[in-house]
Amino acid sequence: MDAPTLVLVPILTAVLLFAAVRAAALVKTLLRDGGRATVAEEDADRIALEDEKHRILTTIKDLEHEHELGKLSDGDYEGLRSFYEREAVRVIEALEKNP
Protein backbone atom coordinates (compact mmCIF):
# COMPACT_ATOMS: atom_id res chain seq x y z
CA MET A 1 0.00 0.00 0.00
CA ASP A 2 1.23 3.48 -0.75
CA ALA A 3 1.36 6.24 1.89
CA PRO A 4 -1.88 8.05 0.91
CA THR A 5 -3.80 4.79 1.10
CA LEU A 6 -2.37 4.06 4.55
CA VAL A 7 -3.70 7.42 5.72
CA LEU A 8 -6.95 7.33 3.77
CA VAL A 9 -8.24 3.88 4.73
CA PRO A 10 -8.36 4.46 8.53
CA ILE A 11 -9.95 7.89 8.11
CA LEU A 12 -12.66 6.64 5.76
CA THR A 13 -13.28 3.58 7.95
CA ALA A 14 -13.76 5.80 10.99
CA VAL A 15 -16.16 8.06 9.10
CA LEU A 16 -18.25 5.14 7.86
CA LEU A 17 -18.32 3.54 11.31
CA PHE A 18 -19.37 6.80 12.92
CA ALA A 19 -22.12 7.32 10.34
CA ALA A 20 -23.43 3.79 10.89
CA VAL A 21 -23.55 4.26 14.67
CA ARG A 22 -25.39 7.58 14.32
CA ALA A 23 -27.88 6.09 11.86
CA ALA A 24 -28.54 3.14 14.19
CA ALA A 25 -29.11 5.49 17.13
CA LEU A 26 -31.56 7.54 15.10
CA VAL A 27 -33.51 4.48 13.95
CA LYS A 28 -33.61 3.15 17.52
CA THR A 29 -34.99 6.46 18.80
CA LEU A 30 -37.62 6.64 16.09
CA LEU A 31 -38.76 3.07 16.63
CA ARG A 32 -38.88 3.37 20.42
CA ASP A 33 -40.80 6.65 20.54
CA GLY A 34 -42.87 6.34 17.41
CA GLY A 35 -41.04 9.35 15.98
CA ARG A 36 -41.54 11.60 19.04
CA ALA A 37 -38.36 12.56 20.83
CA THR A 38 -38.43 13.80 24.40
CA VAL A 39 -36.75 17.02 25.50
CA ALA A 40 -33.87 15.07 27.04
CA GLU A 41 -33.34 13.18 23.78
CA GLU A 42 -33.41 16.45 21.83
CA ASP A 43 -30.70 17.79 24.16
CA ALA A 44 -28.73 14.59 23.65
CA ASP A 45 -29.13 14.93 19.89
CA ARG A 46 -27.85 18.51 20.01
CA ILE A 47 -24.86 17.47 22.11
CA ALA A 48 -24.12 14.66 19.66
CA LEU A 49 -24.31 17.11 16.74
CA GLU A 50 -21.98 19.54 18.53
CA ASP A 51 -19.54 16.68 19.15
CA GLU A 52 -19.77 15.62 15.52
CA LYS A 53 -19.15 19.19 14.35
CA HIS A 54 -16.08 19.41 16.57
CA ARG A 55 -14.71 16.09 15.27
CA ILE A 56 -15.28 17.11 11.64
CA LEU A 57 -13.60 20.50 12.06
CA THR A 58 -10.68 18.84 13.87
CA THR A 59 -10.39 16.32 11.03
CA ILE A 60 -10.26 19.13 8.46
CA LYS A 61 -7.50 20.81 10.46
CA ASP A 62 -5.61 17.50 10.67
CA LEU A 63 -5.99 16.99 6.91
CA GLU A 64 -4.52 20.44 6.28
CA HIS A 65 -1.57 19.59 8.48
CA GLU A 66 -1.00 16.19 6.82
CA HIS A 67 -1.17 17.86 3.40
CA GLU A 68 1.32 20.55 4.42
CA LEU A 69 3.71 17.82 5.57
CA GLY A 70 3.35 16.07 2.22
CA LYS A 71 1.65 13.00 3.66
CA LEU A 72 -1.44 13.54 1.48
CA SER A 73 -1.39 14.18 -2.25
CA ASP A 74 -3.22 17.21 -3.62
CA GLY A 75 -5.96 14.99 -5.05
CA ASP A 76 -6.48 13.02 -1.83
CA TYR A 77 -6.47 16.21 0.21
CA GLU A 78 -9.00 17.95 -2.02
CA GLY A 79 -11.31 14.93 -2.07
CA LEU A 80 -11.22 14.41 1.68
CA ARG A 81 -11.54 18.11 2.45
CA SER A 82 -14.53 18.38 0.13
CA PHE A 83 -16.19 15.39 1.83
CA TYR A 84 -15.64 16.78 5.33
CA GLU A 85 -16.77 20.27 4.32
CA ARG A 86 -20.06 18.78 3.07
CA GLU A 87 -20.41 16.88 6.35
CA ALA A 88 -19.73 20.07 8.32
CA VAL A 89 -22.42 21.92 6.39
CA ARG A 90 -24.88 19.07 7.02
CA VAL A 91 -24.19 19.11 10.76
CA ILE A 92 -24.30 22.91 11.05
CA GLU A 93 -27.63 22.99 9.21
CA ALA A 94 -28.98 20.32 11.56
CA LEU A 95 -27.82 22.39 14.54
CA GLU A 96 -29.57 25.47 13.15
CA LYS A 97 -32.82 23.47 12.85
CA ASN A 98 -32.48 22.29 16.46
CA PRO A 99 -31.79 25.46 18.52
Predicted local distance difference test score (pLDDT) of residue 35: 52
Residues for the chain: how many in total? 99
Block means of pLDDT (10 residues each) for the chain, 99 residues, are: 64 71 70 59 82 92 92 91 92 85
Rounded to two decimals, the pTM is 0.59
CB 79 within 8 A of CB 30: no
Q: Rounded to whole angstroms, what are the CA distances from 93 to 2, 26, 30, 50, 85?
A: 36, 17, 20, 11, 12
Predicted local distance difference test score (pLDDT) of residue 87: 92
DSSP secondary structure string, 12-42? HHHHHHHHHHHHHHHHHHHHHHTT---HHHH
